[in-house]
C-alpha cells in the first residue's frame, strides 16, 4: 500500500477490515432537512468540489479531491486492519456502491466501470472492505449485494446508520443527471489520500496516542483502550500477546454493546459508572485521572485485566437494563429524570449480584422517587453523600436502599432533610415554569398510572411513558390571555392573583400527546374539554367540570391539592 495514492489505489487488490475492537459505524443522517450531519456533509463537500471544478477555467490543473489520511495495521498478505479513517472509508464504500447501483439501473456498466467496481467494491467473491463482524452481513446484504431491501432484523444502532446512509445517498443520487453520477464516481475513485501502515499493534497504538495529542478528540473510552494496549506492550513481557488478545476480545464485546445502548447512555458515562462500581464509590468521577494513577502502579497489568472485564460487564448489564426498562415502569421511571451518575451504578451492581427482578423493581422505585424529588427541589446538597454508604454495602437485597430513601422522605434531621416531605411539598405547591416541564410530565404520567390502578379494573397494566406519542404539557388555562373576557371562553379572569398563583401551578397542567396538544391550541375550554377523553386524568377534568364547564381558580386549586397529596403519599 503506497503512502501517497488514490482511493482506487488504496483498495485495489487489498482486503481492508474494521477490527471488532474498534468503534462501529457512527456517521449519521440528519433527522430533518435543516439538520446536516456527517453523511450530508460528505455528499455536500463532493458536490461543492464538482461545482468548483466546473467553474474553473483550467480543469486540467484542478487538484484531485482529497480524502485525508488513513492509518492501517498490516495483518496478512494484502490484508489490513484500519486503525484511523474507518468512518470515511465506510461512507466511501456505501456511496460508490449506491452510485454503481444507480448507474446499473439505467444502463449496463462500461468495461472500465466494471474494472473500477472490482477495485472498489468486490472482486469475484472477495470484498475489498469489511466492517465489524456484527454489522458485516447486513453491510454485504444491504449495501453491496442488494439482496435484502427491507429494514427488518436490524439489531444495532450502527447497522441502522448503515441503512440510513445508503438510503439517503441512493435517494440523492437518483435525483442527479447521469453525467453527474459518472463524474462523482470518477471523483471518488481518483481522489487522493495518504496512508501509513504499521507493522504491529505497538506502533499503531503509539500513532493513535500521537494523533490524540495533536488535537483529535476520541472518546475517553478509546483513549483508555489505547493506553491499556500500550502498557501491555511495554510491560507485558511473555504475557503480551495473550493479554492483547484478551483486551481486544473484551473491547469487541464492548463495542457491540455500545451499538445497542448508545441512544440510552454514552460510552464515556459507562466508563465513569464502571469506575464507581469497580472502586465501590459514587464519588469516582475523573476516569482518565483515576485510571492513569492505577497504570502508574506496579500492579498495572492486574488492573488492566480486572478493569477491562468490569467494563465488559458494565456494558452487558446496561444492555439488559435498556431492555428491561421497556418491561418495568419502575425501572423506566427511575431513568426518566437522568441523574445517571447516581442511578446507573446501583443497577450495574444489582445485575452483577443477580438480584431478583422483583427486588430490582423495588430498588428502582425507591431510587426513582428520590432522584425525582432531587430534580424538583434542586437543592445544593449532594444526594451522593446520603446514598454512598448504602451503595457500598449493597449486595443481594435492596432493603437498605429502600429504608434510606424512606428515611430521607420523612426525617427532620437537618443534614438529611433536604428531600423530605416538607421540602417536597413547598416546591410542589409553587410555580412550574418551563425548566420544570420535563419533571411535571413525569409526575403526571405517574399520576395517570395511579388513577388507572385505583379504578379497580382488573387486567390493565401500567402505561409506559414511552407509549405516549411525544408527551406534551398542556396549560389547561392558556398562558396567553385572550383579548375578550376569559370567562366567555370558559377560563377565570386573568388578574394578577390568577397569573401569579394559578396559571403556572401543577394543577393547571395536563398530560397530552403532541398531536393532541397541537390540535387544541388556545381554544375555549368547552372545545378543549370535549377532547379530554383519552387518558384517565383527562376524563377527570371532564368530571370536575361536569356541572358548569368552567375552568377557574377553585378547580385548579382543588386539582393542585390532589396532585400534591398524591406525590407526598406515593413518591
pLDDT over threshold 80, residue 484? no
Distance CA 117, CA 97 (A): 8
**Which residues 6+ apart lie within 8 Å of 144 measured at CB?**
97, 121, 122, 127
Higher pLDDT, 491 or 457: 491
Distance CA 498, CA 495 (A): 5
The predicted pLDDT at position 459 comes to 46
The number of beta carbons lying within 10 Å of the beta carbon of residue 309 is: 14
CA atoms within 13 A on the CB side of 216: 12
The predicted pLDDT at position 211 comes to 55
Q: What's the whole-number average pLDDT of the chain?
A: 90
Distance CA 213, CA 228 (A): 17
Mean pLDDT of the 300-328 span: 95
* Percent of the chain residues topping a pLDDT of 70: 93
The phi-psi region of residue 339 (left if phi > 0; otherwise alpha if psi is between -120 and 50; otherwise beta) is left
The number of beta carbons lying within 10 Å of the beta carbon of residue 562 is: 13
For the record, the C-alpha cell of 124 comes out as 469475484
Higher pLDDT, 476 or 155: 476
pLDDT in tens, 168-214: 999 999 999 999 999 999 999 999 999 989 877 666 666 665 555 44
Distance CA 70, CA 75 (A): 16
Distance CA 370, CA 377 (A): 10
The predicted pLDDT at position 216 comes to 44
CA atoms within 13 A on the CB side of 88: 16
pLDDT over threshold 90, residue 549? yes
For the record, the C-alpha cell of 122 comes out as 468486490
The number of beta carbons lying within 10 Å of the beta carbon of residue 251 is: 26
pLDDT over threshold 80, residue 432? yes
Helix, strand, or coil here: 472? strand
Output the CA angle 301-304-310, nearest 5 degrees.
145
- Lowest mean pLDDT across 209-213, 237-241, 267-271: 209-213
Give start and end residues of each alpha helix (H) in 81-156: 86-106, 111-120, 133-138
Mean pLDDT of the 554-570 span: 96
Distance CA 46, CA 371 (A): 48
Helix, strand, or coil here: 545? coil
Instruction: Print burial letters for 256-289: b (CB count within 10 Å at least 16), e (below 16).
Output: bbbbbbbebbebbbbbbbbbbbbeeebebeebee
Nearest to 264 by CA among 204, 347, 194, 386: 347
DSSP assignment of 478-524, as one string? -SSPPSS-GGGGTB----HHHHHHTTTSGGGEEEEEHHHHHHHTT--
The phi-psi region of residue 153 (left if phi > 0; otherwise alpha if psi is between -120 and 50; otherwise beta) is left
pLDDT over threshold 70, residue 352? yes
Distance CA 111, CA 494 (A): 78
Higher pLDDT, 152 or 475: 475
Check: CB of residue 87 under 8 Å from CB of residue 165. Answer: no
DSSP state of 385: H
Q: How far apart are the first and last CA of the chain?
A: 64
The predicted pLDDT at position 21 comes to 76
- Lowest mean pLDDT across 189-203, 454-468, 543-557: 454-468
Helix, strand, or coil here: 76? strand
pLDDT in tens, 82-131: 988 889 999 999 999 999 999 999 999 999 999 999 999 998 888 999 99
Q: What is the CA radius of gyration of the chain?
A: 29
Distance CA 152, CA 156 (A): 12
The predicted pLDDT at position 289 comes to 94
SS3 letters across 174-188 = HCCCHHHHHHHHHHH
pLDDT over threshold 60, residue 224? yes
- Lowest mean pLDDT across 255-269, 289-303, 507-521, 535-549: 255-269
Amino acid at each position: 500500500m503506497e503512502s501517497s495514492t488514490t482511493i482506487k489505489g488504496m483498495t485495489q487488490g487489498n482486503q481492508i477490515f474494521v477490527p471488532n475492537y474498534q468503534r462501529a459505524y457512527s456517521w449519521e443522517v440528519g433527522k430533518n432537512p435543516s439538520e446536516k450531519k456527517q453523511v450530508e456533509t460528505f455528499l455536500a463537500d463532493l458536490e461543492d468540489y464538482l461545482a468548483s471544478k466546473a467553474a474553473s477555467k483550467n480543469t486540467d490543473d484542478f487538484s484531485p479531491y482529497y480524502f485525508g489520511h488513513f492509518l492501517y495495521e498490516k495483518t496478512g498478505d494484502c490484508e489490513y486492519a484500519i486503525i484511523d479513517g474507518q468512518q470515511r472509508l465506510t461512507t466511501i464504500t456505501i456511496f460508490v456502491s449506491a452510485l454503481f447501483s444507480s448507474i446499473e439501473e439505467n444502463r449496463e456498466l462500461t468495461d472500465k466501470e466494471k474494472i473500477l467496481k472490482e477495485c472498489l467494491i468486490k472482486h469475484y467473491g472477495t470484498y475489498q472492505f469489511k466492517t465489524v463482524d456484527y454489522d458485516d452481513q447486513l453491510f454485504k446484504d444491504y449495501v453491496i449485494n442488494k439482496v435484502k431491501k427491507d429494514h427488518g432484523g436490524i439489531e444495532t444502532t450502527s447497522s441502522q446508520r448503515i441503512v440510513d446512509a445508503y438510503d439517503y445517498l441512493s435517494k440523492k443520487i437518483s435525483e442527479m443527471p447521469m453525467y453527474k453520477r459518472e463524474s462523482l464516481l470518477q471523483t471518488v475513485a481518483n481522489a487522493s489520500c495518504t496512508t501509513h501502515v504499521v507493522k504491529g499493534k505497538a506502533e499503531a497504538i503509539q500513532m493513535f496516542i500521537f494523533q490524540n495529542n495533536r488535537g483529535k478528540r476520541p472518546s475517553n473510552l478509546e483513549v483508555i483502550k489505547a493506553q491499556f494496549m500500550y502498557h501491555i506492550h511495554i510491560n507485558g513481557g511473555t504475557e503480551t500477546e495473550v493479554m492483547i488478545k484478551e483486551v481486544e476480545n473484551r473491547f469487541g464485546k464492548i463495542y457491540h454493546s455500545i451499538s445497542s445502548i448508545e441512544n440510552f447512555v454514552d460510552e464515556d458515562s459507562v466508563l465513569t459508572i464502571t469506575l464507581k462500581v469497580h472502586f465501590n464509590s459514587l464519588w469516582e468521577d475523573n476516569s482518565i485521572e483515576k485510571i492513569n494513577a492505577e497504570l502508574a502502579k506496579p500492579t498495572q497489568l492486574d488492573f488492566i485485566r480486572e478493569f477491562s472485564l468490569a467494563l465488559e460487564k458494565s456494558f452487558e448489564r446496561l444492555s439488559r437494563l435498556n431492555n428491561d426498562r421497556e418491561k418495568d415502569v419502575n425501572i423506566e421511571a427511575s431513568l426518566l429524570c437522568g441523574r445517571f451518575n447516581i442511578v446507573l451504578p446501583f443497577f450495574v451492581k444489582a445485575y452483577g449480584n443477580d438480584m431478583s427482578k422483583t427486588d430490582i423493581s423495588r430498588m428502582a422505585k425507591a431510587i426513582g422517587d428520590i432522584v425525582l424529588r432531587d430534580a424538583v427541589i434542586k437543592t445544593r446538597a449532594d444526594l451522593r453523600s446520603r446514598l454512598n454508604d448504602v451503595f457500598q454495602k449493597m449486595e443481594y437485597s435492596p432493603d437498605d436502599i429502600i429504608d434510606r430513601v424512606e428515611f430521607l422522605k420523612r426525617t427532620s434531621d437537618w443534614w438529611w432533610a433536604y428531600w423530605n416531605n416538607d421540602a417536597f411539598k413547598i416546591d410542589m405547591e409553587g410555580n412550574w415554569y418551563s425548566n420544570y416541564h420535563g419533571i411535571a410530565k413525569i409526575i403526571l404520567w405517574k399520576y395517570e398510572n395511579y388513577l388507572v390502578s385505583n379504578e379497580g379494573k382488573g387486567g390493565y397494566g401500567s402505561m409506559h411513558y414511552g407509549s405516549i406519542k411525544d408527551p406534551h404539557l398542556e396549560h389547561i388555562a392558556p398562558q396567553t390571555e385572550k383579548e375578550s373576557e376569559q370567562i366567555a371562553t370558559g377560563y377565570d379572569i386573568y388578574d394578577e392573583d390568577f397569573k401569579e398563583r394559578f396559571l403556572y401551578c401543577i394543577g393547571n397542567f395536563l398530560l397530552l400527546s403532541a398531536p393532541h396538544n397541537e390540535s387544541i391550541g388556545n381554544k375555549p375550554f368547552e372545545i378543549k374539554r370535549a377532547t379530554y377523553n383519552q387518558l384517565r386524568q383527562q376524563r377527570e377534568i371532564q368530571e370536575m367540570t361536569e356541572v358548569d364547564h368552567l375552568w377557574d381558580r377553585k378547580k385548579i386549586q382543588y386539582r393542585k391539592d390532589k396532585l400534591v397529596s398524591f406525590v407526598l403519599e406515593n413518591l
